Structures are given as structure tokens and as C-alpha cells.
């Protein structure tokens, strides 16, 4: 890392930044699969309705690869609802607008000095629950029952959460594999949305069943991160040219690959930077950080996170 870097912030984990509005997407950013193709508005439920809430989980890209990523415990989470008055089912989830790769690594465009990020995540709500999708290789289980009033209050919260939490954050970054170790940065992805939704329902009075619930996290292991600056301070006219070049060089192997040979060449570069040289540049809250990487460098965990406890004046099972 070049000299002249700022001292790291001492508040850990760095809080996820919320925004006042969602920016328009750039036409350059294109998704292989359309985001939320059958999405609809969240309906207003009758107050006296009784709504079943389901935990939904399946391997990432299950629709294309079946249980392949499930063997690695790389899972996608959602929540389902069923109205007792209408009999209608609904699914709600949160995922990337331009797929995971674009949210995790930038594009290096020849006409732009700074790395270009195609990164947004958002909630998707649609009618129906694809039972086959969730049951075949994953989970579809009742976790609680709520009233129509609680559902409507949750819907208002979802609108706020969706309008202010707009960027997908792939990585959890912590000091060591020890569960008590310092967390430097927390991820912000599909499972965190589901956990926030469950907590909101608990705050509203829902009582959850006592069942085991596990979620996927992708963790980087690092010493204390070093704050580098934002796009303007690094890549702008008065920026740090040496640091700017180092960041671009770090991200260059993560581009889409055109051949098997190119893939292995770039894979060697990634191993050289991250493992042999203990380097990782993280983009979080529109700011760049340097991570002094350490063993075991990266780990995918499938860890239990208990369902929340409701209030004393609760509605539910």
C-alpha cells in the first residue's frame, strides 16, 4: 500500500450506509437474467386476515444448476406469505439487480479512470410460491402467523428499507474464524434482508416457531482495515495516482473470462495478490479500504442464526 493513507476508523463494524433515494441505473449495466420479472406491488391485507409466514431457502441459481451450489452451502433466502381470507400465496426476496459478480467486482472501462460499479440490490415481491423450487433442494417451512394489520405495517417498513438500503455488499470481513473475533464489515445481501424482516415482524408482535435456521456468509479474514478514500480523492484530478493504479491492477483479474487459459492466468494473479501478498481492496459504502489479508483468507460458512423473540403482547403460533 502506498504512503499517505489515512488512519483507519475505529468504529467496528463500519455501519452500512443508507441513502435518501435510489439512483437511476446506468445503461452500461446489463443483467443476464431480468431482475424481478413478475414483480408486483405489495397488497393491502384486511386487518382481520390471518397470514402464514414461511421460511424459504434454496441453493443459489437452483433454477439452472439444481443442488450443485447447495453442496457448498451457498444458499438464497426468501420469505413466503399465505392469506387465509383469499388463499393467495406471495413471495418476497432481496437480490442483485445485475447478478452477484457485478455487485462484487467492478468493470475497468478504458474511458474511465475509476472502476465502474454495477451494484444495486432491491426487494422483489410477487404473487405465488414456487413450491417445487424451494422444496426440491431447499426449505419451505412455516415459521409464524401474523395478522393483516402486522403485514401492512411490515409492508411500509419494506418500502423504507428498500428505498434507503440500495447497495449489495457481498463480503463479511472479520479478524479471525473465532466467533468472538472483531467484525470489520458486515455483508448486506439476501439473508440479511430476511433476518431484518423477521426482526420487524417480531417487533410487531409475531411469535416464531422454535426451529433451526441457518444462513450462508462469505467471509474474508483480515487484520485491521486501512481507510483509503472515495472515488474523487483517489481517482480525481488531485487523487493518488499510485494508489489508483494499484486498485485498478488488483481488480483486473476479476473480469469475465474469454478462455480457459485466461481464467487460469487470472486465477494465479488473484492467488498471488490475496494469499501470497496478503492484499485485498474492498469497496464499501462508496469508499475504498485496504485489507491486510491473513489465513485462512476466505471461508464460506453456513451458520445458525436463531429466529427472533417476539414481544410479550404477541400474535402468532
Q: What is the pLDDT of residues 249-307, one digit of tens each?
A: 999 999 876 687 887 888 889 999 999 999 999 999 999 999 999 999 999 999 999 99
Number of structural domains found in the chain? 1
Whether the pLDDT of residue 228 is over 60: the answer is yes
pLDDT at 312: 47
pLDDT at 40: 96
CB atoms within 10 A of CB 166: 18
The pair phi, psi for residue 109, each rounded to 5°, is: -90, 135
Spatial distance between the Cα atoms of 117 and 207, rounded to a whole number of angstroms: 40
pLDDT digits (tens, 9 = 90+) for 191-203: 999 999 999 999 9
Q: Would residue 32 count as lying in a domain? A: no
Q: What is the mean pLDDT of the chain?
A: 92
- Supply angle C-alpha 74, 80, 83, rounded to 5: 175
Whether the pLDDT of residue 317 is over 50: the answer is no
Do 265 and 180 meet the contact criterion of CB atoms below 8 Å apart? no
The pair phi, psi for residue 137, each rounded to 5°, is: -130, 10
Instruction: Give the residue numbers spanning the domain of 126.
Output: 50-304
pLDDT digits (tens, 9 = 90+) for 150-169: 999 999 999 999 999 999 99
CB atoms within 10 A of CB 207: 20
Q: Would residue 234 count as lying in a domain? A: yes
Do 91 and 125 meet the contact criterion of CB atoms below 8 Å apart? yes
* Average pLDDT of the segment spanning 44-52: 98
pLDDT bucket at 315, cuts 50 / 70 / 90: very low
For residue 112, the 8-state DSSP code is -
Distances (CA, A) of 238 to 232, 235, 241, 288: 8, 8, 9, 16
pLDDT at 71: 76
Spatial distance between the Cα atoms of 261 and 259, rounded to a whole number of angstroms: 5
Q: At what angle do helices 148-164 and 190-203 cross, to 10 degrees?
A: 140
pLDDT bucket at 316, cuts 50 / 70 / 90: very low
Cell of 73: 452451502
Q: Which residues of 215-243 are buried (b: 16+ CB within 10 A; e: fewer)?
A: bbbbbbbbeebbebbbbeebbeeebbeeb
Q: Would residue 7 count as lying in a domain? A: no
Which residue matches cell numbers 412455516? Answer: 142
Spatial distance between the Cα atoms of 169 and 104, rounded to a whole number of angstroms: 7
pLDDT bucket at 313, cuts 50 / 70 / 90: very low
pLDDT at 177: 96
Distances (CA, A) of 34 to 37, 42, 92: 6, 20, 16
Spatial distance between the Cα atoms of 76 and 100, rounded to a whole number of angstroms: 12
- Quick check: pTM over 0.85? yes
pLDDT at 311: 59
Q: Would residue 20 count as lying in a domain? A: no
Q: Would residue 12 count as lying in a domain? A: no
Q: Would residue 218 count as lying in a domain? A: yes
Q: Would residue 116 count as lying in a domain? A: yes
Torsion sign, CA atoms 101, 175, 247, 263? negative
Beta strands at 206-207 and 315-316: parallel, antiparallel or unpaired: parallel
pLDDT bucket at 94, cuts 50 / 70 / 90: very high
Do 248 and 108 meet the contact criterion of CB atoms below 8 Å apart? yes
Whether the pLDDT of residue 4 is over 60: the answer is no
Active site residues: 76, 190
Whether the pLDDT of residue 3 is over 50: the answer is no
Amino acid at each position: 500500500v502506498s504512503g499517505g493513507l489515512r488512519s483507519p476508523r475505529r468504529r467496528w463494524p463500519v455501519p452500512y450506509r443508507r441513502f435518501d433515494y435510489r439512483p437511476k441505473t446506468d445503461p452500461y449495466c446489463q443483467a443476464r437474467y431480468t431482475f424481478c420479472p413478475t414483480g408486483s406491488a405489495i397488497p393491502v391485507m384486511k386487518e382481520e386476515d390471518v397470514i402464514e409466514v414461511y421460511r424459504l431457502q434454496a441453493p443459489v441459481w437452483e433454477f439452472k444448476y439444481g443442488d450443485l451450489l447447495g453442496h457448498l452451502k451457498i444458499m438464497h433466502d426468501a420469505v413466503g406469505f399465505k392469506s387465509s381470507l383469499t388463499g393467495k400465496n406471495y413471495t418476497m426476496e432481496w437480490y442483485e439487480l445485475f447478478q452477484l459478480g457485478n455487485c462484487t467486482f467492478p468493470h475497468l472501462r478504458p474511458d474511465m479512470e475509476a472502476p465502474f460499479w454495477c451494484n444495486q440490490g432491491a426487494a422483489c415481491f410477487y404473487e405465488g410460491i414456487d413450491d417445487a423450487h424451494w422444496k426440491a433442494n431447499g426449505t419451505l417451512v412455516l415459521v409464524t402467523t401474523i395478522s393483516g394489520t402486522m403485514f401492512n405495517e411490515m409492508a411500509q417498513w419494506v418500502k423504507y428499507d428498500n428505498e434507503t438500503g440500495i447497495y449489495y455488499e457481498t463480503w463479511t470481513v472479520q479478524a479471525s474464524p473465532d466467533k468472538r473475533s472483531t467484525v470489520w464489515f458486515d455483508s448486506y445481501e439476501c439473508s440479511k434482508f430476511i433476518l431484518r424482516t423477521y426482526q420487524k415482524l417480531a417487533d410487531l408482535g409475531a411469535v416464531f416457531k422454535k426451529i433451526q435456521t441457518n444462513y450462508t456468509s462469505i467471509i474474508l479474514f483480515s487484520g485491521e482495515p486501512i481507510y483509503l478514500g472515495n472515488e474523487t480523492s483517489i481517482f480525481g484530478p488531485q487523487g493518488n495516482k499510485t494508489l489508483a493504479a494499484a486498485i485498478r491492477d488488483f481488480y483486473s483479474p476479476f473480469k469475465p473470462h474469454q478462455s480457459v487459459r485466461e481464467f487460469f492466468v487470472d486465477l494465479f494473479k488473484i492467488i498471488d495478490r490475496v494469499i501470497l501478498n496478503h492484499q485485498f481492496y474492498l469497496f464499501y459504502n462508496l469508499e475504498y479500504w485496504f485489507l491486510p489479508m491473513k489465513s485462512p483468507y476466505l471461508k464460506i460458512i453456513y451458520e445458525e442464526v436463531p429466529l427472533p423473540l417476539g414481544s410479550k403482547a404477541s400474535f402468532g403460533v
